[in-house]
């Protein structure tokens, strides 16, 4: 397991025929409700079986022991997929960097933490990001589908339970933590697309860019 995308979705990594072999045998070990869908070329950076095969964890750990690290907090809080929380404290940089290589990434915990912290805008860096945008978009669509149901407030919790019958995990999460209701309000910005879109404006008049202060 590479990443926990949500309470009912995981990203399973494989190479060669391992995923196909797992698909053939999964019915013997998992409930019938579990489905497998192959999405080639959607990998978190460096988090692949090739990394594990080359024992990068051990080499990284050795290298990190001799690499200078700051003993103070980062200038900006860093939400870590290793712990699903803001975990860097100035003394654990080496261990977190090492664990990041071969521990399942707690993406859902990070998503949940984002909404709890009141974050209203996410800027995606890198070429064609897909895993986090897809997770946030799917969550926003699911929450919006619940909120758009007629008479949700009128019928109360009983109606809420009925309309979330096919999304039981979401119903449980929302009933326990209303922070997820903010999902449709989250704005996602893809930096590379934004730069291309505003390139002409930047070349002609940098002061005309949105958000310029």
Rounded CA-CA distance 97/200 in Å is 39
Q: What is the pLDDT of residue 42?
A: 60
pLDDT along the chain (213 residues), means of 10: 82 82 90 85 56 57 70 84 87 80 85 88 85 90 76 48 57 67 89 82 62 50
Q: What is the pLDDT of residue 213?
A: 44
Rounded CA-CA distance 74/95 in Å is 16
Sign of the alpha-carbon dihedral angle for 139, 34, 10, 104 = positive
Q: What is the pLDDT of residue 178?
A: 73
Rounded CA-CA distance 180/23 in Å is 32
Sign of the alpha-carbon dihedral angle for 27, 33, 37, 42 = negative
């Amino acid at each position: 397991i590479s990443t926990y995308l949500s309470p009912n979705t995981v990203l399973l990594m494989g190479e060669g025929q391992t995923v196909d072999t797992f698909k053939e045998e999964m019915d013997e070990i998992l409930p019938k409700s579990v489905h497998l869908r192959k999405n080639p070329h959607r990998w978190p950076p460096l988090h692949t079986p090739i990394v594990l095969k080359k024992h990068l964890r051990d080499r990284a750990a050795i290298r990190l022991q001799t690499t200078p690290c700051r003993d103070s907090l980062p200038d900006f809080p860093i939400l870590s997929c290793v712990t699903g929380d803001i975990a860097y404290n100035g003394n654990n940089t080496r261990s977190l960097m090492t664990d990041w290589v071969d521990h399942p990434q707690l993406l859902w915990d990070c998503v949940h933490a984002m909404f709890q912290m009141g974050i209203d805008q996410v800027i995606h860096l890198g070429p064609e990001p897909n895993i986090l945008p897809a997770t946030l978009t799917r969550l926003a669509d699911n929450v919006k589908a619940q909120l758009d149901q007629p008479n949700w407030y009128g019928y109360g919790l009983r109606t809420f339970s009925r309309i979330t019958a096919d999304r039981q995990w979401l119903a449980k999460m929302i009933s326990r933590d209303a922070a997820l209701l903010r999902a449709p309000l989250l704005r996602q910005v893809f930096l590379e697309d934004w730069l291309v879109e505003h390139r002409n404006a930047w070349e002609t008049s940098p002061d005309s860019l949105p958000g310029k202060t």
